Structures are given as structure tokens and as C-alpha cells.
Amino acid sequence: MEISHFLLGARVQTSTGRLGAHGLEPTRFGDKVRSEVAAHFNYEQNKITFSANTPDAPLLPGAQDQLSVVLQIGSMLAADPKLFSQGSTLSFQAVGPRSAEAWVFTIGTTEKLGLPGGELSALRVWREPLGEYDSRVEIWFAPEMNYLPVRIRLTQANGDVADQLWKSTEGARTLDFMTIAPTCNRSSIIPTMQTLYDSDTYSVTHMLANAEADGKTALGVIKTVQYPSGVPTMARHGFEIVDKRSGKEVYLDGSWAELFQQHIMAWQVNTPTQEEVEDTLEQYAELAQNPVVVH
């Protein structure tokens, strides 16, 4: 993430990491104004180390950095929105470049937003300042975009505001969406598969939940219907990832499917390289023996 000001210059924050039992697992968080300071996540020793000579901090389960926490919240909302009613809270250990803090986010209401990219409904989630000089954090997640953040507003103690707004979504060049003809009994109601990605190294197939043949088959809106007897069905959608080199196969459903769907939506926004896509697919494939289902 980069924020620029014509007088103060640019501030760049970066987050890198992997996938684990609790979802996103950051491994490094960097914050650069003039020179960069960083926090490193050591999962073997359960500690966080800082390049700015700050004392080490204990690494707690589910810890996030100040960037990854946004996507982690989005993936949790997408996995089961009904779990997060208005007024409920989400707590994280949030790691910055010099400290690890306890961040508590409150679930608000759905609001209509007029953004540069268009008008849409988004769920507002916020975090109050932790101290006198801390910032207030507000994030709006759009259900129709699988709970990707479409607005992030930071309000500093002195009243200065940084307001990031969704402008557009571009299709990822490396993801070729193609519908595969279903192999089942002919019916007006049929299950559908989509090949999302296919290279010499990996293939990704989206197994859609029970859907009407003339309904939407793209990611996002899935219609659940009653099948005629004798027609095979899937209770919920999921993703099959195959590593063609090792023969490993992993099938993601439930919360893992929602987390992977967040990656797909992020790729549509950021247009990654093939190497970046396959680095992520490799992390998922490493979850697997041959074959395995991950819920």
C-alpha cells in the first residue's frame, strides 16, 4: 500500500506471508518513509522481531500485520456473514513496524457508497484509536465483491484524513475463466465446473454448488436449488488445485474456499504475474497429501 502527499512524500507499506491453520500468516511487514523498518514473524519460536531495535514480542495465534488484517477480516466475513451481526467484534494481534497491539474491530451496518468505481453497498467495520495520538480506522467491505475492501479511511488525532476509494476492478491477465460442460444427466438444473487456471505446472477448477443452468456461474453469486433424484449434487462450492509436477491434489471448501476466493478477487484487482499466482498455488498445494480435502 502506498500513500502519497505532495509535501510529505510517499509512505509505502508491504506485507508478505503464507497460508496456515488460522488463515493468512504474515511473515514480514515493512513500513518505509525515508528508510524502511520491518517486523518479522517467527512461527517456530512464536515471537515477533523488529528491525528498529524494539524488544521482541510474543507471537499469538491468528496474528496479523496492519495490512493483512484487512484481507483477513474480509475472508472471515465472506466465509459466513451470518456470524457477524451488527455490534459484534473481531479481535486481532496487529503487528506494526515497531510494536504488536491488540486491535478490536466493531461490525457496523451496510451503507450505500458512491465511489469512483460506481455505487455499491458495503459493510462498515471500524477500530477506535488506542491512544491519544492513534488513528481511527474505518473499512468498508462490499458483499457483491466477495467482501473485498472498497474504502479505507484513516483519521489521525490532528484531524488529517487518508481516504482510499475503490476506482476499478480489472481482470487478471493470468486467470483464464472458462466454463466446462457438466458431465451429468441432462436437466434444466445442472452442476457446473469452471477451469480458472491451467498451466504446465498447476490447474485450478472451481466446483460450483447446485446452480441453475441459466444462472450466474461466475464467482460470487451461487444459487442453491433442489436437484431431481439421481442427479449428483454438491452442497457448497469449492476449488480443486492440482500440482502437475508432484501429483498433489487439494480440494478447498468451507472457510478455505472463501479464503482462496479472496485471493482470486485480489488478483482481479492487482493483475499479478504468473509467478506470483503460482507461488500462491504452491502454498495451497503444500497443504495436501494426495488427495486431501481441506475445510
48 within 8 A of 26, measured Cβ to Cβ:
no
What would you report as the CA-atom Rg of the chain, rounded to the nearest whole angstrom? 21
Instruction: State residue 193's pLDDT score.
Output: 67
Q: Which of 43-52, 192-201, 202-211 holds the top average pLDDT?
A: 43-52
Q: Any idea where the domains of the chain sit in the sequence?
A: 2-165, 178-294
Cα 29 from Cα 85, distance rounded (Å): 30
Long-range contacts of 119-126 (CB under 8 A, 24+ apart): 120/144, 120/145, 120/150, 122/150, 122/151, 123/77, 123/147, 125/73, 125/90
| Predicted confidence band of residue 7 (pLDDT cuts 50, 70, 90) | very low
Residue 157 pairs in a beta bridge with none
252 within 8 A of 196, measured Cβ to Cβ:
no
> What pLDDT digit, counting tens, does each position of 283-294 carry?
888 876 544 544
Who's near 53: CB < 8 A, 6+ residues apart?
none
| Predicted confidence band of residue 246 (pLDDT cuts 50, 70, 90) | confident
65 has a pLDDT exceeding 70: yes
149 has a pLDDT exceeding 80: yes
- Nearest alpha-carbon partner for 95 in 137, 124, 66: 66
> What pLDDT digit, counting tens, does each position of 169-201 carry?
764 343 443 322 233 333 333 346 677 888 888
Residue range 109-132: average pLDDT?
A: 94
Global pTM reads 0.61
Instruction: State residue 228's pLDDT score.
Output: 36
95 within 8 A of 26, measured Cβ to Cβ:
yes
Answer with the residue of higher pLDDT: 239 or 150.
Answer: 150
| Predicted confidence band of residue 58 (pLDDT cuts 50, 70, 90) | very high
Please give the C-alpha separations between residue 144 and each of 101, 110, 111, 183, 185, in angstroms, as whole numbers.
31, 12, 13, 29, 31
Greatest extent of the chain over all pairs of C-alpha atoms, in Å: 68
Residue range 86-110: average pLDDT?
A: 95
Output the CA torsion sign for 142, 143, 144, 147. Answer: positive
Per this entry, what is the length of the chain? 295
Q: Please give the backbone phi and psi of residue 82, each rounded to the nearest 5 degrees, phi first.
A: -65, -20
